[in-house]
């Protein structure tokens, strides 16, 4: 039987409190120096958006006026990316299957002076991906950046992986980005170019034994990224692949808690990582901003390692590192 992650209640106060406590205790440097910051005690929001004019006097924001679509943006890494892009001036399309959470992210951005719309879409469906691109154009008239972030990573060894699980993982992690890129590329080409940013994984290069399907799908995504980079360079469409590290999102905290891992145990694990701490969505969001901006105009087909040095070490078969 496959080892699937238990359902997570993202409004569970224990999850919220654990995430806040963990960040304050073990990632204090992210609280004041990054685009996203920890919120005040008692708030259910895990990140806040800078107001458009805050700290921007005399500086053009890095993705000012661009339109960015982020899949899987209702929580965790996708939410952090959406808020970061909005902070740097982008019009943001927040997309997810989680309607209430996705709308909340878009509303948070708008409340702080940014531009955002929520569009529900299941990336497993080509029709919904096509409609997602069309509706994005209806909202902001163009599409400059596509961030393929939606993901699914159930733990399962080779022997435990069923055909159903394999196909589900591939539909979300590989077929979804394919569908979104397929329908986004013509739009980007007509407007003179764009940036496709695929959120990958170290498992796409060498996977852990309990992430067989996920590793294969992310490896396919890496191949797709390089193919797109070569095929559409003439249209000024860039495609790049980001490898995040072990990110402490709401879901990850809840998953670790469900498996009986305490904050003290996580602290010990984090200090044992190459750069001495877990990552936050902000760490990857900074890289996404770079790849979305004109600063990376000559960057395509690149694998950007944000894994805090994990790729420099041998993968340990017994590790739970994602």
- Of residues 140, 129, 11, 24, the one with CA closest to residue 71: 129
CA of 96: how far to CAs of 18, 113, 291, in Å? Answer: 24, 22, 22
The answer to whether position 245 is within a domain reads yes
Residue 44, pLDDT > 50, answer no
- pLDDT tens digits for range 274-305: 888 888 899 999 999 999 999 999 999 999 99
Report DSSP letters for 31-77, one per residue: HHHSSS-PPPTT-S-S--PPPTTTT-TT---TTTT-EEEEES-SSHH
- Of residues 108, 90, 102, the one with CA closest to residue 45: 108
pLDDT mean across residues, the chain: 83
Could you tell me what percent of the chain has a pLDDT over 90?
61
In three-state secondary structure terms, 125 is coil
Residue 321, pLDDT > 80, answer no
Which pLDDT band, with edges at 50, 70 and 90, does 315 fall under?
Answer: low
- pLDDT tens digits for range 250-281: 777 777 888 788 878 888 888 888 888 888 89
Give pLDDT, residue 233.
98
The answer to whether position 12 is within a domain reads no
Quote the CA–CA distance of 231 and 214 in Å, as a whole number. 25
The answer to whether position 5 is within a domain reads no
What's the total number of domains in the chain? 1
- Of residues 183, 176, 51, the one with CA closest to residue 108: 51
The answer to whether position 230 is within a domain reads yes
The answer to whether position 96 is within a domain reads yes
The answer to whether position 189 is within a domain reads no
Quote the CA–CA distance of 313 and 320 in Å, as a whole number. 14
- pLDDT tens digits for range 204-247: 998 889 899 999 999 999 999 999 999 999 999 999 999 998 88
Which pLDDT band, with edges at 50, 70 and 90, does 58 fall under?
Answer: low
CA of 199: how far to CAs of 112, 114, 122, 222, 256, in Å? Answer: 26, 24, 17, 9, 22
**Structural domain of 293:** 24-53+63-175+195-311
Give pLDDT, residue 153.
85
- pLDDT tens digits for range 90-113: 999 999 999 999 999 999 999 999
Residue 195, pLDDT > 60, answer yes
Q: Which two tokens stand for residue 197?
A: 């940013």
Give pLDDT, residue 36.
35
Other CB atoms within a 10 A radius of the CB of residue 52 amount to 16
Catalytic residue check, 214: yes
The CATH number of the domain holding residue 147 is 3.40.50.720
Q: Of 214, 232, 241, 290, which residue is the catalytic one?
A: 214
Give the mean pLDDT of 169-183.
Answer: 98
The answer to whether position 119 is within a domain reads yes
Q: Which two tokens stand for residue 202?
A: 């170290």
The answer to whether position 300 is within a domain reads yes
Give the mean pLDDT of 68-84.
Answer: 96
pTM of the model: 0.83
């Amino acid at each position: 039987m496959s080892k699937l992650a238990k359902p997570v209640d993202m409004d569970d106060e224990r999850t919220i409190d654990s995430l806040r406590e963990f960040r304050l205790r073990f990632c204090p440097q992210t609280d004041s120096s990054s685009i996203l910051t920890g919120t005040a005690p008692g708030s259910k929001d895990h990140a806040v958006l800078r107001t458009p004019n805050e700290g921007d006097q005399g500086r053009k924001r890095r993705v000012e006026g661009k339109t960015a679509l982020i899949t899987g943006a209702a929580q965790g890494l996708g939410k952090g990316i959406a808020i970061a892009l909005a902070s740097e001036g982008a019009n943001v399309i927040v997309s997810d299957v989680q309607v209430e959470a996705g709308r909340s992210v878009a509303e948070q951005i708008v409340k702080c002076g940014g531009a955002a719309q929520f569009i529900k879409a299941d990336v497993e469906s080509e029709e919904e991906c096509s409609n997602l691109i069309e509706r994005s154009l209806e909202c902001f008239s163009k599409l400059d950046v596509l961030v393929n972030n939606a993901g699914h990573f159930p733990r399962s060894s080779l022997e435990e992986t069923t055909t159903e699980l394999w196909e589900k993982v591939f539909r979300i992690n590989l077929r979804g980005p394919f569908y979104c890129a397929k329908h986004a590329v013509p739009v980007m080409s007509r407007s003179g170019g764009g940036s496709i940013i695929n959120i990958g994984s170290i498992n796409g290069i060498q996977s852990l034994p309990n992430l067989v399907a996920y590793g294969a799908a992310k490896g396919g995504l890496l191949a797709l990224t390089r193919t797109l980079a070569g095929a559409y360079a003439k249209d000024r469409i860039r495609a790049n692949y980001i490898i995040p590290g072990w990110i402490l999102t709401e879901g990850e905290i809840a998953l670790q808690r469900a498996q009986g891992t305490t904050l003290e145990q996580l602290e010990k694990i984090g200090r044992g990582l190459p750069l001495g701490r877990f990552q936050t969505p902000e760490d990857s969001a900074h890289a996404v901003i770079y790849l979305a901006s004109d600063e990376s105009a000559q960057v395509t087909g690149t694998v950007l390692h944000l894994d805090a040095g994990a790729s420099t070490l041998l993968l340990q078969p017994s590790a739970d590192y994602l």
